[in-house]
Structure 1
Amino acid sequence: MAIRKEGAFIEILLPNGMFSYGRILAKASFAFYNIYSENKILDLEFIKNAEIIFINSVYKYAISKNRWIIIGIIELEPNLRVLPMEFIQDTFNYNQIELYDPNTGEIKQSQKSECLGLERAAVWEPEHIEDRIIDYFEGRLNVWYESLKIKD
């Protein structure tokens, strides 16, 4: 059983046979890199220097059950030590929206305009993250991401 350690790089073998990469961040969060390759990549500096396409929380079994494999570790850069803000939106009253700080757990009332471009506060299944990665690189809308966007 792999142990979750901040700064660790993960290799994700996608269902279509392609490889993508991510990084373990604080709490339950992961950063996912703009890498979609037919071949394994072992150069951690190459991965580290790639653009991050999104950050989400993911259930721990992605690592603990070795679905995603840890391939190395480098201390987190300062910009990855602070998790991005997220939003919470009431399921029945779309006008009730809050900003959530995953670093502190603080929640405060907000306006939709302040939350545009933010991820919804949610913990993702690893297979849904894999779908999102494939859809991103294949140029398709992702059903999971779309279902979690701010509602009007």
Structure 2
Amino acid sequence: MRKKNGTLGDILKIDLKNGSYAFGRVLKSPLIAFYDVASETQTPPEGLLSRDILFKVWVMKSAFKSKNWVIIGNSPIDTPLMEDPWFFKIDPISKKFSRYKDGIEVPAFREECLHLERAAAWSPEHIEDRLRDYFMGIPNKWVESLKCPT
């Protein structure tokens, strides 16, 4: 039986459906960090822990029901990795920007949001697309659609 949610520190193997796997790490639910590594074989979980993080985003719980997302280990998380990232929001009516982190929302200028992820929960399929595109070196339509307007 699959878990309904990941547990803090769970290490995920994500099948990119192109012969390779990407890897992630469950942080504070629903936040997951994704590593800058793709492999055609299962990388030992301990070999991932020192790798760079590509991005941290919120992911829908349905990821843990997906056959493409498999928990391959668990390891305590270092303090720097546990730090919540800032996300940006745009009010749909006023069009004003804000930054959001760990339940705190503060007004922001657009320029402060340009390099932040949009506050959004990603579906597992969109994460798979994003990772596959990244490792193939091509722009991702989901990243582009959620990017802060310039």
The two structures have a TM-score, normalised by structure 2, of 0.92
1:132 paired residue number: 130
1:120 paired residue number: 118
Moved over 6 A (4+): none
Counterpart of 1:110 (choices 94, 108, 116) is 108
Matched residue type, 1:120: R
* RMSD over equivalenced CA pairs, Å: 1.4
The number of equivalent residue pairs is 148
1:61 paired residue number: 62
The two structures have a TM-score, normalised by structure 1, of 0.91
Deviates further, 84-93 or 5-14: 84-93
Give 1:117 shift: 1.0
Higher normalized strand content (fraction of residues): 2
The reply to whether residue 22 of structure 1 matches residue 24 of structure 2 is yes
Gaps of 5+ in 1: none
1:5 paired residue number: 7
| Aligned residue runs from structure 1 range 135-150, under 5 A | 135-150=133-148
Q: Kindly indicate whether the alpha-carbon contact (under 8 Å) linking 1:61 and 1:67 is maintained by their aligned counterparts in 2.
A: no
Q: Deviations over 1:10-35 (max 9, x none)?
A: 00011212111000010201110011
**SS where residue 35 of structure 1 aligns?**
strand
Gaps of 5+ in 2: none
Q: Percent identity over the alignment?
A: 37
Matched residue type, 2:16: L
2-structure distance, mates of 1:38, 1:67: 14
